[in-house]
Structure 1
């Protein structure tokens, strides 16, 4: 459990505070963009599948032939239609690749939306998009992303908020003892446990793992044994949860590093522009002095 106990969403968020807002994708040179690009495999790991973007497209297209499901290309096109503004490169790269992987999760045969999954995704999204230049655009992008997957962004936000508020009022004992109590969130967890125990209508994902950990964090129940007991109560494999939380922690660490590189790049470009502006002012002053001197000599 060392990997799980070392992961703190708030701590990672604090380390990402040393960032520089980016107003346009134009500040990114092509070589710099490539240097910041996340490997698709990292995001495949987060989504729980292993496939390249092109490979994923072939798989989903094959599914759509049989079941008339949308293709990856259609999902991405729906996102681009819903949000037409440019997205800074470091954010756009992650969003586009993550959308491909979530498309694969969304259209699996055993996929069924649940609020813990929603809490996990909302947590991932908010961490990935922390420091985005516009809070308003960040929420509009969120809505476009979820709608591109033919789901309801308001439901995601509402369910995530509901679980967060519930978890804040819990402790370790009440969290793992949800099956003995009545309530809206308790009923949600009972339903998950029943479906996961039946091995049929529950599709585990790494967003679900992040959602579980978020519940633990908000309830201040971070002891390793608590996660183990909660997984057992929900009929979820704890080894999978441990592994997936470690993947998510690594992804956030890489994102923080990328944002730091971005900040350094933007600062360098800003300094160069300032130096060029100062040099131009100096040249103009010299030109003006020379002109005045020549006028005196005449």
Structure 2
């Protein structure tokens, strides 16, 4: 790694410097893992930013942060995270939105036939296909796989054969995509379970507090307990 490429520690420090408020542990643990993965991808010699990668990250981030206590903080964390990687959060959001809007207007057939059509998104996909074929300026990643799946999801074209055709058209190894999508689904399952446990914890503590002190004081007690649970990882 050349001297002008930051270390993982420097990227993580940039993130913490840009967003100084505490992040609940249920979210922060995953965020820290993601930023390490993304740093390693971001600074690979063959990596080049593309809109499918952006869509994949935005999809992961938004699903991870569902239910976050503050929408304003959620967006501030997003901006701090992307800027820590020396990239543009507005570009991530706008590119992801462009691909989402395009995918909603596609079918399974039109999605995989992008090479025969003209348009902004079609040009993006053609460029990815050419770079992936040459392997000189393309670096496959888990975020890219999730971006592909999101395109299929929005086009209501999630049949395995459609994914296979799209991977072939993009010169991407479907086995890698299948593996990474399995990891992604497992992550989502764990997040749902963790958030359910948190919900049960809050309800249980509120009931206990109401029995002791009444509804109003109970709400305050639960807020305190919830803060400890979220921020300290209890």
- TM-score calculated relative to the size of structure 1: 0.70
Number of positions where the alignment pairs a residue of Structure 1 with one of Structure 2: 215
Choose which of 107, 115, 124 in structure 2 pairs with 1:171. Answer: 107
What is the CA distance between 1:273 and its match in structure 2?
2.8
Q: Which runs of 5+ in 2 are unaligned?
A: 218-234
Deviations 1:110-137 (A, max 9, x none): 1110000000000000011111011111
Alpha-carbon separation, structure 2, partners of 1:172 and 1:250: 25
Choose which of 145, 156, 169 in structure 1 pairs with 2:81. Answer: 145
What is the CA distance between 1:74 and its match in structure 2?
1.3
What is the CA distance between 1:167 and its match in structure 2?
0.5
Q: Which runs of 5+ in 1 are unaligned?
A: 1-62, 282-298
What is the CA distance between 1:145 and its match in structure 2?
0.4
Matches for 1:74-153 after TM superposition, within 5 Å: 74-153=10-89
Alpha-carbon separation, structure 1, partners of 2:13 and 2:89: 18
Alpha-carbon separation, structure 1, partners of 2:209 and 2:36: 38
Alpha-carbon separation, structure 2, partners of 1:85 and 1:272: 30
What is the CA distance between 1:274 and its match in structure 2?
2.5
What is the CA distance between 1:272 and its match in structure 2?
2.9
Over aligned residues, Cα RMSD in angstroms?
1.3
Choose which of 159, 173, 181 in structure 1 pairs with 2:95. Answer: 159
1:243 lines up with 2:179 in the alignment: yes
Deviations 1:174-223 (A, max 9, x none): 11111011100000000000000001111000110110011111111122
In structure 2, the partner of 1:194 is: 130
Alpha-carbon separation, structure 2, partners of 1:230 and 1:239: 13
Alpha-carbon separation, structure 2, partners of 1:199 and 1:68: 24
In structure 1, the partner of 2:222 is: none
SS at 1:87 equivalent? coil
SS at 2:118 equivalent? coil
SS at 2:205 equivalent? helix
SS at 1:67 equivalent? coil
1:228 lines up with 2:171 in the alignment: no
Larger radius of gyration: 1
Alpha-carbon separation, structure 2, partners of 1:230 and 1:98: 26
Alpha-carbon separation, structure 2, partners of 1:170 and 1:259: 34
Matches for 1:20-59 after TM superposition, within 5 Å: none
- TM-score calculated relative to the size of structure 2: 0.88
The range that moved more, 268-277 or 250-259, is 268-277
Alpha-carbon separation, structure 2, partners of 1:266 and 1:104: 37
Alpha-carbon separation, structure 2, partners of 1:276 and 1:73: 46
What is the CA distance between 1:266 and its match in structure 2?
2.0
Choose which of 261, 269, 274 in structure 1 pairs with 2:197. Answer: 261
